[in-house]
Amino acid sequence: MNFREKLDLVVTRNNSLVCVGLDSEIAKMPPHIQSMEDPQFEFNKSIIDATADLVCAYKPNIAFYELFGARGITSLLKTIEYIPKNIPIVLDAKRGDIGDTSYMYAKSYFETFGVDAVTIHGYMGSDTVAPFMKYEDKAIFVLVKTSNPSAVEFEDMELKDGKKLYIKVAEKIAEWNELYPGLCGTVVGATFPADLKPIRVILPDVPFLVPGLGKQGGDTEQTVLNGMDARGRGLLINSARAIIFAGNGLDFAQKAREETLKLRDKINQYRKG
Amino acid sequence: MNFREKLDLVVTRNNSLVCVGLDSEIAKMPPHIQSMEDPQFEFNKSIIDATADLVCAYKPNIAFYELFGARGITSLLKTIEYIPKNIPIVLDAKRGDIGDTSYMYAKSYFETFGVDAVTIHGYMGSDTVAPFMKYEDKAIFVLVKTSNPSAVEFEDMELKDGKKLYIKVAEKIAEWNELYPGLCGTVVGATFPADLKPIRVILPDVPFLVPGLGKQGGDTEQTVLNGMDARGRGLLINSARAIIFAGNGLDFAQKAREETLKLRDKINQYRKG
């Protein structure tokens, strides 16, 4: 079963386009979790138990684990191991390197770490992407238009032919998907919801990983209407802090569940519209 | 002492612009090292002992360590700890993320890992860079023109004003260095030595990290002549495989020393010319 099939099954089963971001910063966790031996794993375990029937994917960002060196990587690997096997895991690592090194990254994440997909910087071109494409049941999500304010500085630069740089990246992803059918997704931020539309035209059946909806302030309605594919799917709408840190007491996982449910239903309302 | 001062001292002391890339792939190590308990650290230790008086920096690429999960990160941290404190360490991680996450990466590498500099993807703009700039004695090297064949796909794209994308990135680095004096360096591949010249014009006193000279086939003379600053410095010319895997026997570290010496002297010949 390839990545898109795995994703499709869970979208149907959980009736959800919500991806929960496991940006598990220890300082923001409830005090009773912070004092445990492996707070990142214990926190994630509770969040996963409380949300696994409501999500289409989990997205840990490796930065929050690397901060603790080898111990953090162990917490991340335990988290990956704990996530139910039928839910796709997108490792947010934003890697991009020359071919030989990219091969090491692909091997790291798809074999050692065992995730289903990785986020990728496309700046260095096809060499960066090719080694990941040898894993036919996996996927990558290439950064197209990111959710941060300064995304406009380079990504919106106008090229000689009048197209913006992020449009060129989207067009390149279309080429890569010709070569490696179904293996490339994109990252498009919900903070620039109008930009989802032209990217969806270029990439009609590609999954979009969409950060920026929660604390970053993206608009749900516009994101769904502009971003969904012809089947009312094709989006992994990520929310991290707004869900995982919704509560700070003993009931933090229950609060996370409530926020996930709320976001899922809000998104689904526009999917049906 | 800031990064540039630290680099300058070691360039003088070792009369060297050679940066040794610690891309320490276990499968390529001599058999007697492969059978040790921590081959990556043992290998690096021998390479460092044999070359520390001949280099201006070491550059481990994190991909080669992440492959082994927590164990690999431990080998990397032990290596960083082992490198003499007066030699700058550039962690080749090519990170780039939104502000909050970038802050985590900066904290990871400059505090937990304790390196002097990190390589960075600039695609997402200033937000990516700003958190690293709070560390005034550290530095980042932003990817401008990379050494891989497909670098031309995006990096050479021509913009509306006739400039190439990599030139725009170099100009942005100049802006960042106005805001954060001396903290931004660049990555420019030796495989496109002609491109070093216009970048040096835009960034007259910025250190260039230059990969691609060894196995990737870059030209030493052109790299040095086009890339050096007015003082005959400003380059960290990286060689990884051609040095660290020069030998495969008990004398591998001696072979690495010989290759480092050869490269140092070859570079210096053009610095003086």
Which residues on chain A are in Cβ contact (under 8 Å) with B216? 98
Q: Tell me the angle at which helices A252-272 and A220-227 cross, rounded to the nearest 10 degrees.
A: 50
Structural domain contains residue B250? yes
Distance from CA of A67 to the nearest CA of B (A): 4
A/B interface, count of CB pairs below 8 Å = 185
Q: Which amino acids of B are annotated catalytic?
A: 94
The CATH code of the domain that includes A53 is 3.20.20.70
Candidates A154, A191, A239: best to mutate against B (most CBs of B within 10 A) is A154
CB B239 within 8 A of CB B263: yes
What pLDDT shows up at residue B269?
95
Smallest Cα–Cα separation from B47: which of B262, B255, B265? Answer: B255
| Cα atoms in the 13 Å half-sphere on the side-chain side of B93 | 26
What pLDDT shows up at residue A273?
55
CB A190 within 8 A of CB A17: no
ipTM score for this prediction: 0.96
Which residues sit opposite B120 in a β-bridge? B95, B142
Which residues on chain A are in Cβ contact (under 8 Å) with B126? 150, 153
A67 close contact with B: CB closer than 8 A: yes
* pLDDT tens per residue, range A1-41: 999 999 999 999 999 999 999 999 999 999 999 999 999 99
Structural domain contains residue B100? no
What pLDDT shows up at residue A104?
97
**DSSP code at position B110:** I
Distance from CA of B13 to the nearest CA of A (A): 31
- pLDDT of B76 > 70? The answer is yes
Task: Indicate the length of chain B as a whole number.
Answer: 273
Question: What is the Cα B195 distance to its own chain's centre?
Answer: 18
Average pLDDT in chain B: 96
What's the Cα-to-Cα distance from B65 to each of A185, A234, B41, rounded to whole Å?
Answer: 27, 34, 10
DSSP strands (E only) in chain B: 18-22, 57-60, 90-95, 117-120, 139-145, 184-188, 208-210, 235-239
Question: What average pLDDT score do residues B196-223 get?
Answer: 92
**DSSP code at position B90:** E
Gap between the Cα atoms of B248 and B255, Å rounded = 9
- Residue contact A125–B153, C-beta within 8 A: yes
User: Which amino acid, A151?
Assistant: A
Beta-strand relationship, B18-22 and B235-239 = parallel
Candidates B68, B108, B175: best to mutate against A (most CBs of A within 10 A) is B108
Residue B109 tokens read as: 């590498």
Q: Which of A73, A113, A124 comes nearest B73 by C-beta?
A: A73
- Residue contact B146–A162, C-beta within 8 A: no
Structural domain contains residue B143? yes
Percent of chain A with pLDDT strictly greater than 70: 99
Residue A236 tokens read as: 């992994």
DSSP strands (E only) in B138-183: 139-145
User: Which amino acid, A23?
Assistant: D
What's the Cα-to-Cα distance from B256 to each of B11, B22, B38, B59, B159, rounded to whole Å?
Answer: 19, 12, 20, 15, 43
Residue A48 tokens read as: 């996963």
CB A238 within 8 A of CB A211: yes
Confidence band of A215 (pLDDT split at 50, 70, 90)? confident
What pLDDT shows up at residue B218?
82
Residues 129-158 of B with CB under 8 A from A: 143, 146-155, 157-158
Question: What average pLDDT score do residues B163-173 get?
Answer: 98
Distance from CA of A165 to the nearest CA of B (A): 8
Question: What is the Cα B96 distance to its own chain's centre?
Answer: 16
- Residue contact B127–A121, C-beta within 8 A: no
Confidence band of A214 (pLDDT split at 50, 70, 90)? confident
Candidate list A94, A107, A168, A266, residue with the active-site label: A94
- pLDDT of A217 > 60? The answer is yes
Residue A69's domain comprises 3-272
Cβ-in-10-Å burial (0-12, 13-18, 19+) of A121 comes to: buried
B124 close contact with A: CB closer than 8 A: yes
Gap between the Cα atoms of A1 and A180, Å rounded = 15
Q: Which of B107, B127, B157 comes nearest A150 by C-beta?
A: B127
Distance from CA of A169 to the nearest CA of B (A): 8
Task: Indicate the length of chain A as a whole number.
Answer: 273
Candidates A38, A101, A179: best to mutate against B (most CBs of B within 10 A) is A101
Residue A165 tokens read as: 């740089």
Which residues on chain A are in Cβ contact (under 8 Å) with B107? 67
CB B55 within 8 A of CB B20: yes
- pLDDT of A245 > 60? The answer is yes
**DSSP code at position B55:** -
Question: What average pLDDT score do residues A140-150 get?
Answer: 96
Percent of chain B with pLDDT strictly greater than 90: 96
- Using CA coordinates, name the residue in chain B closest to A152: B125
CB A207 within 8 A of CB A231: no
Residues 157-216 of B with CB under 8 A from A: 157-160, 162, 165, 168-169, 172, 211, 216
Residue B103 tokens read as: 């802050």
Residues 6+ apart with CB under 8 A from B247: B30, B253, B254, B255, B256
Question: What average pLDDT score do residues A151-157 get?
Answer: 97
What pLDDT shows up at residue B273?
55
Number of domains composing chain B: 1
Structural domain contains residue B103? no
- Residue contact B95–A97, C-beta within 8 A: no
What pLDDT shows up at residue B213?
87
Residues 23-62 of B with CB under 8 A from A: 23, 25, 61
- Residue contact A123–B112, C-beta within 8 A: no
Smallest Cα–Cα separation from B130: which of B91, B179, B187, B81? Answer: B179
